[in-house]
Amino acid sequence: MASSTKSRTTVITVLAAALVLAGILAYLFRSSQGTVEVRSAKVSYQDLISTVATNGKVEPIDEFPAYAAVPGTVEKIYVDVLQKVKVGTLLIKMSDSEAYARLASSTSALAQQKAAQQDLLRGGTQDELNGFKNDLNRAEMQRQQAAKSLADLQALQQKGAASAGEVTAAQQRVDNAKAMIDSIHQRMGNRFSAADVARSNAQVADAEAGVAAASHAVADSEIRSKIAGTVYSISVSDYDYVHGGDNLLNVADLNRIQVRAYFDEPEIGKLSVGQPVKIIWDAKPNQTWHGHIERTPSSVITYGTRNVGECLITVDDAKGDLLPNTNVTATVTTMQRFHVLSIPREALHTDGARSFIYVIKDGRLVQTPVQVGAAVNLTRVEIAGGLSENESIALNATSNRDLTNGLKVKAVE
């Protein structure tokens, strides 16, 4: 009987110990399951910079493109690529035989029209004027002879030696001579009408225009630079045949250049005049140029498969080392704030208009409302209120657990 009682007591003791051990293990298990590992960071002061990068093409601001005025042959090129030139420097000469032939022909035509105009204004050609003068001299001689004959007959009539009929006939000859003189003067003064003069003036003006056009063509055969700069491209060679309007070469001031950049539509609103720009050319990877936005996009266009805004960027430190028509990368600094209190963007939570973060205090999360500042970039956000420097905040759990207020956590870097 005593042995049986002792055996039951032993069994109860073992069971009780097992239950206590199971409870301890369960407590430890629950305790370990309730602590969540979270990645953490410190609230700190940093410089926040936000940028937008895109592609662009370099182009000159001051440029002189030389074109062929008329079809022809390149006779000689006087400059080389990257050669510096002054205003008036002879760049290229076109074959000018046809131009000189046209100038000679048009000059001759102008001389003929001017001669005809002078003849018209004088009343006729020199031969015609000489003919009128001879006719006038003959008529005047006839008048003088008729007048003398009349005077003689009148004297004889007074002596009874001439009849009245003879005197009348002599008077008629004098009147006829005077009429002839008047007729010649009238013909000399009224040969050409106002319409004739206007027609002659128009013909002279047309001939002058022809000479001007031919002279311009001759001048265009010698192409000279209209600006001081650098020859940055030559499209032709000696003896090449070119069509009218073909580009021959280009001169530009390579110290005054700009970049025509293309920003994707969502980025356009971040751009403003004066924002600083960094420019990189793959051909010179160790060199960087700087500029600023001169003109923001005014419309959205299709550029390949993209909807973009066209932006002009003035290069501020060009020294002839960034060539036109090269493709570059332009990075615009759209925002920069120095020494502002900030946190990683992934630490910020929003609920409608409310923003908050989780501060780690005494191993637990404390939901803390914050005021977000204006500075935001891809990785950090400015905090205008609600936090202090060096506070420890939770970013996210290392597991899939959601962060909640009061959650027991273990911070890991």
Q: Which range, of 34-38, 118-122, 172-176, averages the lowest pLDDT?
A: 118-122
The three-class DSSP label of residue 103 is: helix
Residues 278 and 407 in one domain: yes
Beta-strand ranges (E) seen in 90-246 are 90-94, 222-224, 229-234, 241-242
Q: Is residue 50 part of a domain?
A: yes
Please report, as a single letter, which amino acid is at residue 141. Answer: M
Residue-averaged pLDDT of the chain: 84
Residues 281 and 341 in one domain: yes
pLDDT of residue 269: 92
Q: What is the CATH number of the domain that holds 283?
A: 2.40.30.170
Please report, as a single letter, which amino acid is at residue 334. Answer: T
pLDDT in tens, 67-99: 998 788 899 999 999 999 999 999 999 886 666
The three-class DSSP label of residue 34 is: helix
Q: Is residue 319 part of a domain?
A: yes
Burial class (CB in 10 A: 0-12, 13-18, 19+), 202: exposed
Angle, helices 126-158/164-189, rounded to nearest 10 degrees: 160
Distances (CA, A) of 130 to 19, 107, 144: 154, 28, 21
Q: Which range, of 121-135, 172-186, 263-277, averages the lowest pLDDT?
A: 121-135
Residues 275 and 400 in one domain: yes
Q: Is residue 106 part of a domain?
A: no
Residues 235 and 315 in one domain: no
Residues 268 and 390 in one domain: yes
Domain that holds residue 244: 63-95+221-251
Q: Using alpha carbons, select from 59, 6, 91, 9 the residue that is nearest to residue 294.
A: 59
Residues 355 and 396 in one domain: yes
Instruction: Give the pLDDT band (50/70/90) at residue 363.
Output: very high
Q: What is the CATH number of the domain that holds 91?
A: 2.40.50.100
Residues 385 and 351 in one domain: yes
Residues 264 and 243 in one domain: no
pTM of the model as a whole = 0.58
Instruction: Give the total number of structural domains in the chain.
Output: 2
Residues 327 and 273 in one domain: yes
Residues 273 and 235 in one domain: no
pLDDT in tens, 134-183: 766 787 788 788 778 778 777 777 877 778 777 788 788 877 878 777 67
Identify which has the larger pLDDT, 157 or 235.
Answer: 235
Residues 318 and 233 in one domain: no
